[in-house]
Amino acid sequence: MHLFLDWKVLLVSLGLSSSVLGQNPKDSTVLQDFRDRWVVYSDVGYTTSPFSISYPFSGELDKIQYRNNFRTILGIGVAYKWFALRLGIPVLNRYRSSEKYSKTDQFNIELDYSFRNFYIETQLNLCRGYAALNAAQWDNEIIAENELFPNLLSYNFSLGTWYFRDKNFKINALLGKRAHYLKEVKTWYLKSTINIFGLDNLGNPILPLNLTDISETRTLAHRVGSFDVGLIPGYAYVNRLKNWQFSGWAGLGAVVQAKGYSATSGADRVFLGLAPRYDFRLMGGYSVPDWFVFLVTDFDNKSMQFNDLTFRQYFYSIKLVAGKRFG
């Protein structure tokens, strides 16, 4: 079965929490807990997975950018006590012209779990169909604005575990569905991260043919991939002014990375090294006991380098979430 084309549900997410907030809401002056109320919500937004390749192609060209053709996603979800479930479906045609940006198909799944001071999240992102922008930079005879790569697959699997030093810093309260904050909380955190990611063009070079060099096998790569593990320290903050809540976190760290590529020439290379990683999220909105509206963003970056050839993959989403609390 084709992995993308016949999927009607584009995104599925499941959340579990051993104790949504880990404390008695009647004694809390930090946050207000709605764990015993049914929460029904909807969201609208998009997830996209662009990437870039940097290399000294010529005196004027040292970087090309690839874009996928994303679609607007409508999500519907419920939450109660320790359980949360969300389903997402595409509701509009692809955002960009398929003739210019290819016909992209996406599949995403997310699982998360909260326990005491820990938050665990795992994601799988698959995206097939890309366009390399501004093709005239490397092909003077091309008529189209971009060069299409309809079979090019970008994939990403990540497992992250955050430990927040302050026990009052709870992800469920940040997201605003099953709780919201009553005052300021700030804390240091440490994130451990495991990632598997890369690109695969089904035996054809990932770079445009005019930019490949038979004497440099890395430019002939049709598949690149990486497995890495690491730690990211950071700082998290949340505050509430009247009924408006805003929060986020930021961190910078490094990973140990096993990376490699397979070239159309038949060459296979594997390397071990270090790579930087950042961790960044922003969210905020308006919440009262019976309803809420939040804007939620998620940014993720990955990179791997083979001498002077660097692949940078980005995975990010933006959602507007609104819901009603019953009971």
The CA R_g of the chain, rounded to the nearest whole Å, is 22
Check if the beta carbon of residue 314 is closer than 8 Å to that of residue 130: no
Span 24-42, average pLDDT:
80
CA atoms within 13 A on the CB side of 287: 29
Question: What pLDDT shows up at residue 274?
Answer: 92
- Going from the C-alpha of 218 to that of each of 33, 149, 206, 213, 307, the distances in angstroms are 54, 18, 10, 9, 9
Q: What percent of the chain has pLDDT over 90?
A: 61
Rounded to whole angstroms, the Cα distance separating 35 from 249 reads: 24
Query: Is the overall model pTM greater than 0.85, yes or no?
Result: yes
Higher pLDDT pick, 53 / 7: 53
Span 169-194, average pLDDT:
92
- Going from the C-alpha of 186 to that of each of 168, 238, 245, the distances in angstroms are 9, 6, 13
Higher pLDDT pick, 308 / 88: 308
Higher pLDDT pick, 224 / 315: 224
Q: Environment class of residue 101 by beta-carbon count within 10 Å: exposed (0-12), middle (13-18) or buried (19+)?
A: buried
Question: What pLDDT shows up at residue 9?
Answer: 43
Q: Measured in whole angstroms, how far is the alpha carbon of residue 60 from the centre of its chain?
A: 31
Model confidence band, residue 229 (pLDDT cutoffs 50, 70, 90): very high
Report whether pLDDT(282) > 50: yes
Rounded to whole angstroms, the Cα distance separating 54 from 318 reads: 26
Report whether pLDDT(25) > 60: no
Report whether pLDDT(311) > 90: yes
Query: Using alpha carbons only, what angle is made at residue 96 by residues 91 and 100, rounded to the nearest 5 degrees?
Result: 145
pLDDT in tens, 61-86: 999 999 998 778 888 888 888 777 88
Question: What pLDDT shows up at residue 23?
Answer: 39
Handedness of CA 88, 36, 293, 159 (dihedral sign): negative
- The DSSP bridge pattern shows strands 268-288 and 31-33 to be unpaired
Residues 6+ apart with CB under 8 A from 92: 71, 72
Residues 6+ apart with CB under 8 A from 131: 66, 67, 68, 69, 100, 101, 102, 146, 147, 148, 149
CATH topology of domain 11-326: Lipocalin (2.40.128)
Report whether pLDDT(98) > 80: no
Model confidence band, residue 240 (pLDDT cutoffs 50, 70, 90): very high
Span 13-42, average pLDDT:
67
Question: What pLDDT shows up at residue 243?
Answer: 94
Residues 6+ apart with CB under 8 A from 262: 221, 222, 223, 268
Where helices occur in 162-206 by DSSP H, the ranges are 171-175
Model confidence band, residue 14 (pLDDT cutoffs 50, 70, 90): low
Question: What pLDDT shows up at residue 186?
Answer: 95
